[in-house]
Structure 1
Amino acid sequence: MANPFSKGWKYLMQSLDTKIEENADPHVQIQQATEAARKQHQQISESAARVIGNRNQLEMKLNRLQQDADKLSNNARTAIQQADKATAEGDQAKATELNQTAEIFASQLVSVEQQLEETKQLYAGAEEAARQAQQQQQQSAARLEDQMAQINQLRTQIDQAKMQEATANSMQQMDGLVQNDDVPTFDSVREKIEQRYARALGSQELVENSVQGRMVEIESAGNDMRATSRLEEIRAQLNAENGANALEQGEAQGELER
């Protein structure tokens, strides 16, 4: 039976990994992916270099063994020729010695030729491995170049996405300011004022059309009539006073003339 604690711990770690992945900076993730791609290409290149280096080393060994074989073959041939000459000259001791020397050269030549054959077989395999390694390295280089192009495109898309997100956030903030219920808008204030003004006009209209309104109007008209009558009385008094004053002045002037 599975351990519940272990199972819960795995779920928790997966959840944390998911949260970290969601909140990770895309630029950081792209940089990490770039470094990983370059590191992988570097490893492939280093491996290819080792394989090619092994082929080159076998090639140098092959050339050296071939030179050794040629030298031993020439030495053995020379020794045989000199032995034959010594035999022809009747110097058997020298001929025997030269024949022994030729045998030593021949023995060494057999050993070198055996190594040469083994090295040729190894070189054939190393050459094929080097060809494949070089092909893989070229493919890795092309893949890395393509990845770098995609990474640059991703960087551009991330920058564009951030700009669009910033624009969207600004628009949302603007919408939030317009739709804030705590602050009255111009339209709401205007509507309230128009409602209040309309109600006031309606009340005034009701008052004017009511009986009390007509009574007030009649009373106002009566007051206006009394005011007009009183004004006429005052004007008549002034005219009378003016006439009296003029009469007195005329009598006084007549007495002075007499």
Structure 2
Amino acid sequence: MANPFVKAWKYLMALFSSKIDEYADPKVQIQQAIEEAQRTHQALTQQAAQVIGNQRQLEMRLNRQLADIEKLQVNVRQALTLADQATAAGDAAKAAEYNNAAEAFAAQLVTAEQSVEDLKTLHDQALNAAAQAKKAVEQNSMVLQQKIAERTKLLSQLEQAKMQEQVSASLRSMSELAARAMCPASTRYATRSNAATPPRLVRPSLRNRRCRAACSRSSKPASRWPVIPGWSRSGRRCAEKPCRPAVPPVPEPPRPHPPPRAADRLPRNRSASKGI
């Protein structure tokens, strides 16, 4: 039965790693993948170098053994030749000595040839291992180049995404500014004037409102002249204190008097005729 603490620890580690992958920066993840590929490539390169070095050492040993075999073969031939010459000369002792030397060289030659066979087998294996190591290094190099190309592509895509976000943000700000600029000027000025007007001018008092209501109930038609504050249009003074308008009135420019009518000029003409 599995230990619950071990299971809980593994679950927490898996959850922590998933959260890290969720909130990790894509640039950092790409860089980590490239660094891992570089470490793998370096390890494969070292292994390939070791295999190739072993193959070179076996090749050197094989060459030395082949050279020794050639020397032993020459020695065997020379010993046999000398033994034949001693036998022809009737020197049996020297002939036996040369024959013994030839047999010793022959034994060394057999041992060297067996060693050469073993070295050839090891050399062939080393050649195959070196070829596989070279192939693995080449494949990993291609994978590393592909990851570097993908990193460059992903980084360019990330930069493009960031630039698009910045452009969209700037366009939103420009659209907001354009919407503000398209508002009517009167609305903006009214908003500013209302914001700058004191509260006592914005909301008139009850006394001023009553005074304006009393002035507006006058039956006389409105005069062309401006109304003096505190006086009604009928010429009577308001009972209360003069009204304080919410906004100071702008005086109208004086208008010219209308020309006198014919009925108004008639009495003057009669009086003038009586005097005459």
TM range (shorter): 0.5 to 0.7
Q: How does 1:119-158 map to 2 (within 5 A)?
A: 119-158=119-158
Match of 1:217 among 196, 200, 221: 221
Q: Equivalents in 1 of 2:177, 2:17: separation in Å?
A: 37
The DSSP-based 3-state class of the residue aligned with 1:215 is: coil
Separation in 2, partners of 1:151, 1:69: 58
Segment of structure 1 superposing worse, 51-60 or 63-72: 51-60
Q: Which residue of 1 aligns with 2:16?
A: 16
**TM-score scaled to structure 1, two decimals?**
0.66
What amino acid sits opposite 1:215 in the alignment? S
| Counterpart code for 1:100 | N
Per-residue CA deviation, residues 65-100 of structure 1 (Å, 9 max, x unaligned), is 111111101101100100110110111111111111
How far did residue 24 of structure 1 move?
Answer: 2.6
Q: Does 2:70 correspond to 1:70?
A: yes
Per-residue deviation at 1:168?
4.1
- Residue 89 of structure 2 corresponds to which residue in structure 1? 89
Give the Cα separation in 2 of the matches to 1:218 and 1:107. 150
**Corresponding letter in the other structure for 1:159:** E
2:61 equivalent in structure 1? 61
Closer/same/farther in 2, CA of residues 216 and 132 from structure 1, 3 Å limit? same
* 1:217 counterpart SS class: coil
Stretches of structure 2 lacking an aligned partner (at least 5 in a row): 192-215, 225-232, 236-259, 272-276
Q: Post-superposition shift, 1:190?
A: 2.8
Which secondary structure state, in structure 2, belongs to the residue aligned with residue 50 of structure 1? helix
* Cα distance in 2 for residues equivalent to 1:5 and 1:105: 74
Cα displacement (A) at 1:177: 9.0
Q: Report the aligned-residue RMSD.
A: 4.3
Q: Which deviations, in whole Å up to 9, do the C-alpha atoms of 1:231-253 show, x marking residues without a partner? A: x9xxx9xx9xxxxxxxxxxxxxx
Write the deviation string for residues 174-221 of structure 1: whole angstroms up to 9, x where unpaired.
789999xxxxx957x839x69xxxxxxxxxxxxxxxxx8683429999
Deviations 1:35-78 (A, max 9, x none): 11111111112211222222211111111111111110110110
Letter in 2 for 1:115: S
- Give, in angstroms, the shift of residue 134 of structure 1: 1.7
Aligned to 2:113: 113
- Which amino acid is the alignment partner of residue 21 of structure 1? D
Distance 1:100 1:169, change over 3 A: same
Higher deviation after alignment, 123-132 or 4-13: 4-13
User: Following the alignment from structure 2 to structure 1, what is the Cα–Cα distance between the partners of residues 222 and 145?
Assistant: 102
The aligned amino acid for 2:187 is: R
Matched residue, 2:187: 190
Equivalent runs, 1:15-54 vs 2, <5 Å: 15-54=15-54
Give 1:116 shift. Answer: 0.7
Contact 2:218/2:234 (<8 A) preserved: no
Shift of 1:144: 1.9
C-alpha displacement of 1:126:
1.7
Could you say which structure has the higher helix fraction?
1
Aligned equivalents of 2:39, 2:234: Cα separation in 1: 109
Q: CA deviation at 1:136?
A: 2.0
Q: Kindly tell me: are residues 22 and 87 of structure 1, through their superposed partners in 2, closer, same or farther at Cα, counting changes over 3 Å?
A: same
Name the % identity. Answer: 44
**TM-score, normalization by structure 2:** 0.62
